[in-house]
Structure 1
Amino acid sequence: MNTAYRVWDGEKMHYWDDGELSLIISGGEWGLYRNIVGALYPIRIASSKQKKSALMWGTGLNDKKGKDIYQKDITEESYINPMSKENIIDRYVIERKNGFDRMEHVSGKEGFYRHLWLRSDEVEVIGDVYRNPELLEGAE
């Protein structure tokens, strides 16, 4: 089972292996806490009750350069169109739907997605929707 996660707190991304972090999930809600040496209680960094916070799970897959792929990552795939011989670059956002990690095209076109597990070795993570929203602009 893959337990890698990351949390966006509205300003900064926190990863499961940052050290001294605790993710607590209870009753459909979650909270990310930092354990401070000498402190009586851990400090809450983010929670599901905060509007700008988001919990994202790792997919357990790596991109073509070996980087871990998480939900809400923006990936890029380039290939040569066999008909026009043009170099095509497509961008996708990683989403989990019905238990499967999918690459949803940034254009938002209905039905224009690919299953991540079939393509992970052909895509490159170039950012995520929280820190790099500009990568979603101008999509066709």
Structure 2
Amino acid sequence: MITAYRVWDGEQMHYWDDEHLSLTIKNDGSWLLWHDSGGGCVVSSDDWDAALMWGTDQVENQVITVYEGDVIEQEETELGSPYEGVLIGSVNMLEGQWCIVNEKKKEARPVFSETAKNKILGDVFQNPELLEGAE
């Protein structure tokens, strides 16, 4: 099994399946994204604007990969659910579970739900404005 990841280098996003890129994670938690074809370091955990994000799959008629830092709009479709209406927030790992977190509303919901529809709007790095209006 291949673990999905992506890396923000401060200007662009790099994905786990990009050609000629490899990720090294050291025992101390530091990491390095590098060109395995001799191109050197792309970005590392030492860069102040860099971010390493892990991904997970979600099945909704097709498999989509959801990453930490994605901005998702979730609409609950089941009456009587503890979650009502639409929530826009960023994906974070909370207590071992992938959640959509809206800081303004102080609300968090599980990303994976059989009764909710998720739509990926963008991510917090390339589209930070998506969270500014998230009510």
TM-score of the aligned structures, taking structure 1 as reference length: 0.79
**Cα separation, 2, equivalents of 1:120 and 1:15:** 29
Within 2, Cα distance between the matches of 1:120 and 1:51?
39
- Distance in 1, matches of 2:10 and 2:16, equals 17
Aligned to 1:19: 19
Aligned residues: 129
Query: Which runs of structure 2 are paired with 1:6-45 in the superposition (5 Å)?
Result: 6-26=6-26, 27-36=28-37, 39=38, 42-45=39-42
Q: In structure 2, do the counterparts of structure 1 residues 61 and 79 end up closer, same or farther at CA, with 3 Å as the change threshold? A: closer
Residues 74, 104 of structure 1: CA spacing in aligned structure 2 closer, same or farther, 3 A cutoff? same
What is residue 127 of structure 1 aligned with on the other side?
122
Over 3 Å counting, the alpha-carbon distance change for 1:129 and 1:64 in structure 2 is farther
**1:119 and 1:57, CA in 2 relative to 1: closer, same or farther beyond 3 A?**
farther
Give the TM-score of the pair, scaled to structure 2: 0.81
One-letter amino acid matched to 1:24: T
Measured after TM superposition, the shift of residue 68 of structure 1 is 1.6
Q: Secondary structure at the match of 1:123?
A: strand
Identical counterparts, % of pairs: 38
Describe how 1:97-108 pairs up with structure 2 within 5 A: 97-107=94-104
Cα contact 1:105–1:113 (8 A) shared by 2? yes
Question: How many Å apart are 1:100 and its aligned residue?
Answer: 1.4
Aligned residue among 115, 118, 122 for 2:113: 118
> Runs of 5+ in structure 1 lacking a partner?
83-87
Letter in 2 for 1:30: W
Larger Rg: 1
AA aligned to 2:36 is: N
Letter in 2 for 1:22: S
Query: Within the alignment, does 1:139 sit opposite 2:129 as a pair?
Result: no
Query: Which structure has greater helix proportion?
Result: 1
Please give the residue correspondences for 1:42-57 in structure 2 after superposition, counting only pairs within 5 Å: 42-57=39-54
Q: 2:55 corresponds to which residue? A: 58
Paired amino acid for 1:78 = E
CA shift for structure 1 position 73: 0.2
